[in-house]
C-alpha cells in the first residue's frame, strides 16, 4: 500500500510544492517520470515503423521543450539511445537534431537548477550521464575556440548544480522567445552569453491563441455578428479576415450591435457568477486582471490603484466616474506566501469598498477563485478593459491579453511582452499604455528611492498606510505589513520594490482615470477602440504561430484543409 501511494503521488498534483526537501524530491521524480514515459512511448512507436533506426530520429521527430521543467528529457533521451547501442557522442548528435527549447520567462527562479547530489540520490544513472555530457560540453567549447570565461558562465554543470536552461541552450537546435521584446531581452540579457556563442540559435516566435475556442466557442453572439458582416465563417480558420471589418469602426449601426453583444455577455457572466456565490451588476464597466498570481504581474499595484480611486471618491476629488467592477481571477503557487497575501489583500480591498457609502455605488472588487479555462470563457467575452500591468521587461508575452483583445477589450498595460505587438497592430491611440519602459528602467533603478516617493505623494502614502493602520484587515497575520515592507525596505538582496510598483503608481492611476473617463464621456468612441482592437487580432492567431514553428523550427509541411464553405 505504501509503494502504491508513493506511485500515485507522482501524478496526483502537477508541480508539487517544492519549498521543502520532500517536495523537491517529488517534483524531480515527477518530471523524470513524465519525461521518460513520453520518450519511451515516442521511441516505441518510431522504432516499430519499417526502415526507422535510432540514428535517423532527427529526420522524423522534433521534441519541443516547454520551459525548463521537461529538460530532463535530454539526458533521458540520450540514456534510451545508449540502450539502443549508440555511442554517447552519436546519441548527443541525435539529441541536437531532435530537441528545441521555448523559453517563456525572464524570471531567474523559473529557470530551474538541480543539486547534483540530489539528482545522484534519486536518479543516479542520469546524474552520471550529466557528468559525462559535461566533459563533452567542455571539449566542444574548446574546439569552438570560445573564450573560456564566457563558456564557463553557461556551463550546464557548475558549482555542484545542473542548470537546465543552459543544458537546453547547448543541446537544442533552436531556442525561441515568445514575443519580440521578450526575445530581445533574452538575447541582450538573460541568454546573452549563449547569443554570443551561437548567434543564429535564438529566434522569436510570438505566442498565439485559438480563435476557435476563445471567440467562436466562448462568444457566440459576437461570432454571429462577425460572420454576418464578413458573409462567411472563413475567419474561423483565417483570423486575418477580421481586418476587413475595420471600416465598420465608423458605422454607428455596427458599433451598436457590437455593444449589444458585450451587454449580452455581461448578463451571461452575471448568471454564471451567481452560481459561484458572487454578485456582478452587468450594467457596470468590467475591468479584469485574470492571470497567475505573481509579484511581477503586479496585482498589488492594481489593489493600490483601486484604493487610490476609492479614497479620491470618498474625499470628493473624483465626482464623475462610470460604475466599474474590478474583477480578479488568479491562482497562487502552494508555497508562494506573498502571492497568497495579495489574494487576501484583494478580498480586504473589496470588503472596504463594499462598506464605503460613497465608493460602493461606483466601485466593486470581485475575486473569482479556482481560475480555469471554464472561468476564462465566461469572463473574457464580457470584459471592457484588459489589465496587463507587469513591470516592463518581466512579462515574456502573455496570451490572456490576446484573448481579451480578440473579444473587444482595450488594453490598460505597460509596454511589455506582447502588449508591444498589440499596440503595434491596433494603435497606441486605441489602448492605454502607462509606466516606465524597459529602456528607462536601468537608469531609473540606479537612483530609485521608493521611500522618497512614499514621503512625497500623499495619495500613495494613504494607500500604503491603509495596509497597516487598521483600514484593511489581514486577520492579524501580519501579511499586509510584509507587503508594505517589501515596497519600502530593502530585502535580503538589498533591493526594495523590485517590481517598481511605487514608481509606476501615479502613471497607473492616471491611466485608470483616463480609460474610465473615455468610457463615461463617449461610449461609442470607446466601442470604436474595442472594435479596432478585435479587428487587429489576426496576427495573434495560434495558426500563425504554429505555421512559423512548422516552417522554421520543426521543418514539417502542413496538410491543407478546405476553408469553410460559404453556406456553413
Catalytic residues: 104, 291-292, 297, 399, 403
Yes or no: say if 390 and 416 are a contact pair by the CB < 8 Å rule: yes
| Cα→Cα distances 142→30, 138, 151, Å | 35, 6, 9
Biggest distance spanned by C-alpha atoms of the chain: 79
Helix 458-465 / helix 505-521 crossing angle, nearest 10 deg: 100
Cα dihedral angle (102, 294, 418, 203), rounded to 10 degrees?
Answer: -20
What beta strand segments (E) does 275-316 contain? 285-290
Give dist(CA 395, CA 416) in Å, integer.
Answer: 6
Helix (H) or strand (E) holding 176: strand 175-177
Count the neighbouring beta carbons within 10 Å of the beta carbon of residue 430.
20
Q: Are strands 363-368 and 324-329 parallel, antiparallel or unpaired?
A: parallel
Helix (H) or strand (E) holding 388: strand 385-388
Phi, psi (degrees; rounded to nearest 5) at 427: 100, 130
| Per-residue buried b or exposed e for 328-347, using 16+ beta carbons within 10 Å of the residue's own CB | bbbebeeebeebbbbbbbbb
DSSP state string for 281-346 = -TTSEEEEEES---GGGTHHHHHHHHHHHHHHHHTTS------EEEEEE----TT-HHHHHHHHHH
Give dist(CA 350, CA 270) in Å, integer.
Answer: 17
The answer for residues whose C-beta is within 8 angstroms of residue 378's C-beta and 6 or more apart is 218, 268, 269, 272, 273
Yes or no: say if 484 and 472 are a contact pair by the CB < 8 Å rule: no
Yes or no: say if 487 and 215 are a contact pair by the CB < 8 Å rule: no
CA Rg, the chain, in Å?
Answer: 26
Give dist(CA 170, CA 174) in Å, integer.
Answer: 9
| Cα→Cα distances 220→208, 210, 212, 227, 264, Å | 21, 15, 11, 10, 10
Give dist(CA 121, CA 245) in Å, integer.
Answer: 61
Bridge partners for 385 per DSSP:
287, 410
Cell of 467: 495596509
Yes or no: say if 484 and 468 are a contact pair by the CB < 8 Å rule: yes
Give dist(CA 314, CA 323) in Å, integer.
Answer: 14
Strand order in the sheet with 63-66: 63-66, 99-102, 175-177, 202-204
Bridge partners for 285 per DSSP:
324
Amino acid at each position: 500500500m505504501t509503494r502504491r501511494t508513493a506511485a500515485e503521488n507522482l501524478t496526483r498534483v502537477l508541480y508539487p510544492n517544492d519549498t521543502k526537501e520532500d517536495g523537491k524530491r517529488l517534483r524531480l521524480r515527477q518530471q523524470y517520470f513524465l519525461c521518460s514515459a513520453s520518450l519511451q512511448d515516442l521511441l516505441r512507436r518510431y522504432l516499430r515503423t519499417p526502415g526507422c533506426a535510432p540514428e535517423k530520429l532527427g529526420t522524423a521527430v522534433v521534441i519541443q521543450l516547454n520551459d525548463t521543467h521537461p529538460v530532463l528529457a535530454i539526458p533521458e533521451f540520450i540514456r534510451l539511445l545508449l540502450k539502443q547501442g549508440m555511442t554517447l557522442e552519436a546519441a548527443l548528435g541525435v539529441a541536437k537534431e531532435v530537441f528545441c527549447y521555448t523559453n517563456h520567462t525572464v524570471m531567474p527562479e523559473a529557470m530551474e537548477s538541480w543539486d547534483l547530489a540530489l539528482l545522484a540520490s534519486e536518479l543516479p544513472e542520469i546524474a552520471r550521464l550529466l557528468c559525462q555530457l559535461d566533459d563533452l560540453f567542455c571539449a566542444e567549447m574548446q574546439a569552438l575556440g570560445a573564450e573560456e570565461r564566457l563558456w564557463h558562465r553557461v556551463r550546464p554543470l557548475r558549482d555542484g548544480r545542473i542548470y537546465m536552461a543552459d543544458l537546453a541552450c547547448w543541446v537544442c537546435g533552436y531556442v525561441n522567445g515568445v514575443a519580440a521584446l521578450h526575445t530581445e531581452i533574452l538575447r541582450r540579457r538573460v541568454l546573452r552569453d549563449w547569443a554570443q556563442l551561437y548567434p543564429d540559435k535564438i529566434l522569436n516566435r510570438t505566442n498565439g491563441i485559438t480563435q476557435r475556442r476563445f471567440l467562436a466557442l466562448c462568444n457566440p453572439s459576437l461570432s454571429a455578428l462577425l460572420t454576418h458582416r464578413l458573409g462567411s465563417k472563413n475567419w474561423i480558420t483565417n483570423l486575418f479576415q477580421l481586418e476587413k471589418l475595420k471600416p465598420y469602426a465608423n458605422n454607428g449601426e455596427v458599433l451598436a450591435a457590437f455593444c449589444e453583444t458585450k451587454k449580452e455577455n455581461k448578463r451571461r457572466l452575471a448568471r454564471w457568477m451567481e452560481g459561484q456565490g458572487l454578485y456582478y451588476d452587468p450594467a457596470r464597466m468590467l475591468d479584469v486582471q485574470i492571470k497567475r498570481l505573481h509579484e511581477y504581474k503586479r496585482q498589488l499595484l492594481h489593489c493600490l490603484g483601486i484604493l487610490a480611486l476609492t479614497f479620491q471618491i470618498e474625499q470628493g476629488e473624483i465626482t464623475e466616474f462610470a460604475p466599474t467592477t474590478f474583477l480578479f481571477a488568479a491562482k497562487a503557487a502552494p508555497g508562494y506566501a506573498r502571492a497568497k497575501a495579495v489574494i487576501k489583500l484583494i478580498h480586504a480591498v473589496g470588503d472596504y469598498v463594499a462598506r464605503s457609502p460613497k465608493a460602493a455605488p461606483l466601485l466593486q472588487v470581485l475575486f473569482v477563485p479556482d481560475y480555469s479555462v471554464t472561468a476564462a470563457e465566461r469572463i473574457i467575452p464580457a470584459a471592457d478593459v484588459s489589465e496587463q500591468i507587469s513591470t516592463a521587461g518581466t512579462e515574456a508575452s502573455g496570451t490572456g491579453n490576446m484573448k481579451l483583445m480578440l473579444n473587444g477589450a482595450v488594453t490598460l498595460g505597460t509596454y511589455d511582452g506582447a502588449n508591444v505587438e498589440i499596440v503595434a497592430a491596433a494603435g497606441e491611440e486605441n489602448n492605454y499604455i502607462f509606466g516606465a519602459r524597459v529602456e528607462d528602467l536601468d537608469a531609473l533603478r540606479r537612483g530609485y528611492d521608493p521611500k522618497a516617493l512614499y514621503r512625497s505623494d500623499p495619495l500613495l502614502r494613504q494607500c500604503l498606510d491603509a495596509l497597516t493602520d487598521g483600514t484593511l484587515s489581514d486577520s492579524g497575520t501580519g501579511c499586509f505589513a510584509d507587503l508594505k515592507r517589501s515596497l519600502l525596505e530593502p530585502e535580503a538582496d538589498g533591493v526594495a520594490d523590485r517590481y517598481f510598483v511605487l514608481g509606476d503608481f501615479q502613471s497607473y492611476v492616471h491611466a485608470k482615470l483616463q480609460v474610465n473617463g473615455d468610457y463615461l464621456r463617449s461610449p461609442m468612441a470607446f466601442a470604436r477602440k474595442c472594435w479596432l482592437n478585435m479587428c487587429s487580432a489576426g496576427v495573434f492567431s495560434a495558426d500563425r504561430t504554429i505555421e512559423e514553428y512548422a516552417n522554421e523550427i520543426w521543418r514539417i509541411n502542413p496538410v491543407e484543409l478546405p476553408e469553410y464553405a460559404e453556406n456553413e
